Amino acid sequence: MSSARLIDGKAIAAQIHSETQARVLALKEKRGIVPGITFVRVGEDPASQAYVRMKGAKAAELGIHSDTVVLKESTSQEELLALIQKLNTDPKVHCILVQAPLPKHIREEEIFSAIDFHKDVDGFHPINVGKLLLGQNPLFKPCTPAGVHELLIRTGVPLSGAEVVVLGRGNIVGKPMAAILLQKDKYADATVTLLHSRSKNIADHCRRADIIIAAMGQAHFVKADMVKPGAVVIDVGVNRIDDPQSAKGYRLVGDVDFEAVRQVAGAITPNPGGVGPMTIAMLLSNTARAAEAF
Catalytic residue among 99, 119, 210, 255: 99
Report 100-129 residues binding a second copy (CB under 8 A).
109, 125-129
Is 55 tagged catalytic?
yes
CA–CA separation, 174 and 170 (whole Å): 5
Q: In degrees rounded to 5, what are phi and psi of residue 284? A: -80, -30
> 210: closest CA among 171, 279, 173, 159?
159
Please work out the total of residues on this chain that contact a second copy, with binding judged by CB under 8 A. 39
> CB-wise, 91 or 161, nearer to a second copy?
161
Is 8 tagged catalytic?
no
Query: Residue 211 in contact with residue 189, Cβ under 8 Å?
Result: no
Instruction: Identify which range of 49-57, 155-163, 226-234, 269-277 contacts a second copy by CB under 8 A.
Output: 155-163
What is the maximum span of the chain, computed from C-alpha positions, in angstroms?
59
User: Is position 226 an interface residue for a second copy (rule: CB under 8 A)?
Assistant: no
CA–CA separation, 2 and 87 (whole Å): 53
Is 122 tagged catalytic?
yes
User: Is position 232 an interface residue for a second copy (rule: CB under 8 A)?
Assistant: no
Provide the minimum distance between the beta carbon of 184 and a second copy in the complex, in angstroms, as a whole number: 7
User: Is position 191 an interface residue for a second copy (rule: CB under 8 A)?
Assistant: yes
User: Is position 154 an interface residue for a second copy (rule: CB under 8 A)?
Assistant: no
Catalytic residue among 58, 119, 120, 122: 122
User: Is position 153 an interface residue for a second copy (rule: CB under 8 A)?
Assistant: no
Residues 6+ positions from 99 with CB-CB distance below 8 Å = 39, 40, 41, 42, 48, 51, 52
DSSP 188-228: ---EEEEE-TT-S-HHHHHHH-SEEEE-S--TT-B-GGGS-
Q: Which amino acid is at 232?
A: V
> 19: closest CA among 292, 271, 269?
292
CA–CA separation, 37 and 94 (whole Å): 6
Instruction: Identify which range of 3-11, 44-52, 157-165, 250-258 contacts a second copy by CB under 8 A.
Output: 157-165
Report 169-188 residues binding a second copy (CB under 8 A).
169, 171, 175-176, 178-179, 182-184
Residues that bind a second copy (CB under 8 A): 109, 125-136, 160-161, 163, 169, 171, 175-176, 178-179, 182-184, 189-201, 205
Residues acting as catalytic residues: 55, 99, 122
